[in-house]
Amino acid sequence: MTKYSYDETEAFKAGRDVWFEMRGPKAAQALLDQAAEHEMTRDLRQFLFEHCFAAVCARPGLERATRSIITISVLTALGRTEELKSHIRMGLNNGLTREELKEIFLHGGVYAGAPAAVSAVRAAMEEFEALDKANPQAKG
Amino acid sequence: MTKYSYDETEAFKAGRDVWFEMRGPKAAQALLDQAAEHEMTRDLRQFLFEHCFAAVCARPGLERATRSIITISVLTALGRTEELKSHIRMGLNNGLTREELKEIFLHGGVYAGAPAAVSAVRAAMEEFEALDKANPQAKG
Amino acid sequence: MTKYSYDETEAFKAGRDVWFEMRGPKAAQALLDQAAEHEMTRDLRQFLFEHCFAAVCARPGLERATRSIITISVLTALGRTEELKSHIRMGLNNGLTREELKEIFLHGGVYAGAPAAVSAVRAAMEEFEALDKANPQAKG
Amino acid sequence: MTKYSYDETEAFKAGRDVWFEMRGPKAAQALLDQAAEHEMTRDLRQFLFEHCFAAVCARPGLERATRSIITISVLTALGRTEELKSHIRMGLNNGLTREELKEIFLHGGVYAGAPAAVSAVRAAMEEFEALDKANPQAKG
Amino acid sequence: MTKYSYDETEAFKAGRDVWFEMRGPKAAQALLDQAAEHEMTRDLRQFLFEHCFAAVCARPGLERATRSIITISVLTALGRTEELKSHIRMGLNNGLTREELKEIFLHGGVYAGAPAAVSAVRAAMEEFEALDKANPQAKG
Amino acid sequence: MTKYSYDETEAFKAGRDVWFEMRGPKAAQALLDQAAEHEMTRDLRQFLFEHCFAAVCARPGLERATRSIITISVLTALGRTEELKSHIRMGLNNGLTREELKEIFLHGGVYAGAPAAVSAVRAAMEEFEALDKANPQAKG
Question: How high does pLDDT run on average in chain D?
Answer: 94
Provide the pLDDT confidence category of residue F2 given band limits of 50, 70 and 90: confident
For residue range C51-74, what is the model confidence (pLDDT) as tens digits?
A: 999 988 878 899 999 999 999 999
Which residue type sits at B97?
Answer: T
Residue A65 has pLDDT above 70, yes or no: yes
CB < 8 Å to C76, chain E = none
Q: Which of D39, D47, D83 sits opposite F119 (nearest CB)?
A: D83
Residue E1 has pLDDT above 80, yes or no: no
CA dist A62 and A52 (Å) reads 15
| C-alpha distance from residue C106 to each of C95, F90, F113 (Å) | 19, 35, 11
Closest chain C C-alpha to F109 CA, distance in angstroms = 7
- Determine the angle formed by the axes of helices C98-112 and C64-78, rounding to 10 degrees: 40
Provide the pLDDT confidence category of residue B58 given band limits of 50, 70 and 90: confident
Which pLDDT belongs to residue B139?
58
Which pLDDT belongs to residue B1?
59
Taking alpha carbons only, the member of D91, D89, D77 closest to residue D120 is D77
Tell me whether residues B44 and E125 touch, CB distance under 8 A: no
Residue D127 has pLDDT above 90, yes or no: yes
Q: Would you tell me how many other CB atoms lie within 10 Å of the CB of residue E41?
A: 20
Q: What percent of chain D has pLDDT over 90?
A: 89
Query: What's the average model confidence in pLDDT over B15-39?
Result: 95
Q: Are D121 and A40 in contact (CB under 8 A)?
A: yes
Which pLDDT belongs to residue C38?
96
Return the partners of chain B (3 or more C-beta pairs < 8 Å).
Answer: A, C, D, E, F
For residue range D80-107, what is the model confidence (pLDDT) as tens digits?
A: 999 999 999 999 999 999 999 999 999 9
Which pLDDT belongs to residue E133?
95
Which pLDDT belongs to residue B138?
62
Residues of C with CB under 8 A from a CB of F: 77, 110-116
Which pLDDT belongs to residue B27?
92
Closest chain C C-alpha to A107 CA, distance in angstroms = 23
Query: What's the average model confidence in pLDDT over D42-60?
Result: 92
For residue range A67-86, what is the model confidence (pLDDT) as tens digits?
A: 999 999 999 999 999 999 99
Q: Which of F77, F111, F113 sits opposite C111 (nearest CB)?
A: F113
Tell me whether residues F44 and A79 touch, CB distance under 8 A: no
Tell me whether residues C50 and A55 touch, CB distance under 8 A: yes
| Alpha carbon C122 to its chain's center | 16
| C-alpha distance from residue E99 to each of B34, B40, D65, E127, F73 (Å) | 19, 8, 48, 14, 19
Tell me whether residues C98 and E48 touch, CB distance under 8 A: no
- For chain C, which residues score pLDDT lower than 50? none
Label residues A109-131 b or e (16+ Cβ within 10 Å = b): bbbbbbbbbbbbbbbbeebbeeb
Phi then psi for E135, rounded to 5 degrees?
Answer: -145, 75
**Where is average pLDDT lowest: A21-25, B97-101, E95-99?**
A21-25
Residues of E with CB under 8 A from a CB of A: 77, 110-116
For residue range E65-79, what is the model confidence (pLDDT) as tens digits?
A: 999 999 999 999 999
Provide the pLDDT confidence category of residue A138 given band limits of 50, 70 and 90: low
CA dist E88 and F21 (Å) reads 31
Provide the pLDDT confidence category of residue E2 given band limits of 50, 70 and 90: confident
What is the DSSP-derived secondary structure letter of residue C4? S
Phi then psi for A79, rounded to 5 degrees?
Answer: 70, 30
Identify the residue with better confidence: D135 or D129: D129
Identify the residue with better confidence: B135 or E84: E84
Which pLDDT belongs to residue D82?
95
**Which residues contact residue E27 at a Cβ distance below 8 angstroms, ignoring those fewer than 6 apart?**
none
CA dist E33 and F44 (Å) reads 52
Query: What's the average model confidence in pLDDT over D4-26?
Result: 95
Residues of F with CB under 8 A from a CB of B: 11, 47, 50-51, 55
For residue range F43-76, what is the model confidence (pLDDT) as tens digits?
A: 999 999 999 999 888 788 999 999 999 999 999 9
Query: What's the average model confidence in pLDDT over E98-116?
Result: 98
CB < 8 Å to B11, chain F = 11
**Which residues contact residue C29 at a Cβ distance below 8 angstroms, ignoring those fewer than 6 apart?**
C20
Q: Which of E44, E74, E82 sits opposite C117 (nearest CB)?
A: E44
Which pLDDT belongs to residue F57?
83
Residues of B with CB under 8 A from a CB of E: 38-41, 43-44, 47-48, 51-52, 74-75, 78-80, 82-83
Which pLDDT belongs to residue F7?
96
